[in-house]
Chain A
Amino acid sequence: MEDGKRGRSMPMELLKYGLRRGHRPYRDIPATPDLRKRYDVVIIGGGGHGLAAAYYLSHYHGISDIAVLEKGYLAGGNTARNTTTIRSNYLTLPSIEFYREGLSLFETMSQELGFNVMFSQRGQLTLAHSDAAMRSFRLRAEMGKHAGIRAEVVDARTVQTLCPHVNMDFGGQHEVLGGLWHADGGTARHDAVAWGYAKRAAEKGVEIHQRTEVTGFGITGSRMTKLHTNRGTIAAGQILQAAGGMNGRIGEMAGIRLPIRNFPLQAMVTQPLKPFMDILLSSSNLHTYLVQSSRGEIVIGGGTDPYQLISTRSSLPQKEALATGALQLMPFLHNVKILRQWAGITDITPDFSPIMGASPLQNYWLDAGWGTWGFKATAVAGKRMAETIATGRVPDLLMPFALERFERFELLNEMGATAAGH
């Protein structure tokens, strides 16, 4: 409904709309305009992160002379390919504080954007099938409590209460010993998140250029002066790199060496089933996680492919591994059909934490290294990178994620809290 028509009954409005002739198509996102010669801010990457940054710049910092350059179609990369886990139960304090803010922004996102992102804060349960996993859960729960998030270790009986469908495998190879219960955890519709930010940013005059690929850069001294694209060359005051799986490559083109490797991440969904699972379920030992979407499909995700690759190809062994994990957790899924499967290209860092903030170039900012953990940070990364660009100062919240941390050996090791949990 358009805002001005509130108060009338929705069924009548729908009936009138349905009977009316000559519908004008309504577009949330304007068509790609011609590329101008210069913008105050150019954002490389029209995924969730780039679009969120454009939104916060235009709505909170009065900067709307922005071009978002997207090589393919809007939010068609890892924004569309992730499995929409939103959580903050990480291991290190900087990570927990960062993702805690990210999660809280999801809680109010639909209202903020006037766009239903279908955020469902249903809680996330990670299972332990070994003593080692239980030990790491205790550490994560204590760190979480210290940082003020809801994370607690639960025993096997509580696991059964939280998720009665789990195969506990008592006495078996993968016996469920307990779990890490994260009541704050949730899920949201990834496309809607990107579209909501894009729509509201576009309303402020932000230009979204789809099918616009950056092909090279012009650098003068320590400033980036030119961006060459397949649609012409443009100049920019500030540039934000938020290119998802292509971050390593874009950085290379800008002369910035990033500690990034690419691995495919595969996922798949089953045919729709009646709603039965009202939590997000993960297993750190099996490298598998399950969530039932609002359509009833079981989304099955896992760890990345076992070797480096810069491709979105899928492979049967990895799909079999996902299915094996899913069937271990819920054997009754064995006759359920797979409807869709896909892969994304992740940009993995050595410590499984992102790289945000300054680059060696004065007017070039990094939002990279999002690996398998980027979707949950869409809002907070966009908001804080917008603040960075608008003020020229990296906020304290992002300082630990600086590119220089590798030079200083100040890594934020989140491998144990990320590799299978996303």
Chain B
Amino acid sequence: MKIMTCPMNGPRNISEFQWLGPAHDAAEATDENLITRLFHTPNPMGVLREWWRHTPSSTVFIAERDLITDEILRTYLKGSDADKPQTNS
């Protein structure tokens, strides 16, 4: 069983979660990068910052996950203390 940690409900079965796709920063949305935002979704061979939802509690949060190893590195609520770039990992 793959486990994901919901920031509100703790470690739960991955089947309780819904993937909502890569996180975009609304402030980065401009007319110039419209094509990029619509079609060129991030697909790094590394860590992706993405939206997830814990379905039973409808908790929407951010996860940082490695797209090669499928390792979930961090999960946190948007705007929480944890929601800032980590300088050392």
Contact = CB atoms under 8 A, between A and B. Distances in A.
Contact of B14 (A249, A309, A317): A317
A35 B64 CA distance: 42
Contacts of A309: 67, 70
A243 to B, nearest CB: 14
Given A308-B48, A407-B35, A261 B69 contact: no
Nearest to B36: A257
A249 B43 CA distance: 9
A259 B19 contact: no
B68 interface: yes
B59 interface: no
Q: Which of A259, A261, A307, A309 has the most CB of B within 10 A?
A: A307
B17 to A, nearest CB: 9
Contacts of B69: 311
Interface string A240-284: 000000001100000001011110000000000000000000000
Contacts of B15: 317
Contacts of A237: none
Q: What's the dominant secondary structure at chain A's contact region?
A: loop
Nearest to B19: A307
Given A249-B45, A317-B14, A311 B68 contact: yes
Given A249-B45, A315-B2, A317-B14, A262 B67 contact: yes
A306 interface: yes
A257 B40 contact: yes
A317 B70 CA distance: 14
A311 B19 CA distance: 17
Contacts of A317: 2, 14-15
B46 to A, nearest CB: 9
Contact of A406 (B19, B22, B39): B39
A261 B43 contact: yes
B68 A310 contact: yes
A311 B22 CA distance: 18
A262 B39 CA distance: 13
B41 interface: yes
Interface in B1-15: 1-2, 14-15
B26 interface: no
Interface in A291-311: 306-311
A350 interface: yes
A137 to B, nearest CB: 28
Contacts of A315: 2
A165 interface: no
B38 interface: yes
A260 B43 contact: yes
Contacts of A36: none
A223 interface: no
B12 to A, nearest CB: 13
A350 B67 contact: no
Contacts of A257: 40
A262 B2 contact: no
A28 B70 CA distance: 38
A177 B64 CA distance: 42
A334 B81 CA distance: 49
Interface of A: 248-249, 257, 259-262, 306-311, 313, 315-317, 350, 406-407
Given A259-B40, A309-B67, A406-B35, 16 more contacts: A248-B43, A249-B45, A257-B40, A261-B43, A262-B43, A262-B67, A308-B19, A308-B22, A308-B48, A311-B67, A316-B1, A317-B2, A350-B38, A350-B41, A406-B38, A406-B39
Interface of B: 1-2, 14-15, 18-19, 22, 35, 38-41, 43, 45, 48, 50, 67-70
25 contacts: A249-B45, A257-B40, A259-B39, A259-B40, A260-B43, A261-B41, A261-B43, A306-B18, A306-B19, A307-B19, A308-B19, A308-B22, A308-B43, A308-B48, A308-B67, A309-B67, A310-B43, A311-B67, A311-B69, A311-B70, A313-B70, A315-B2, A317-B2, A317-B14, A406-B35
Nearest 4 A-B pairs (CB), nearest first?
A: A307-B19, A259-B39, A261-B43, A406-B39
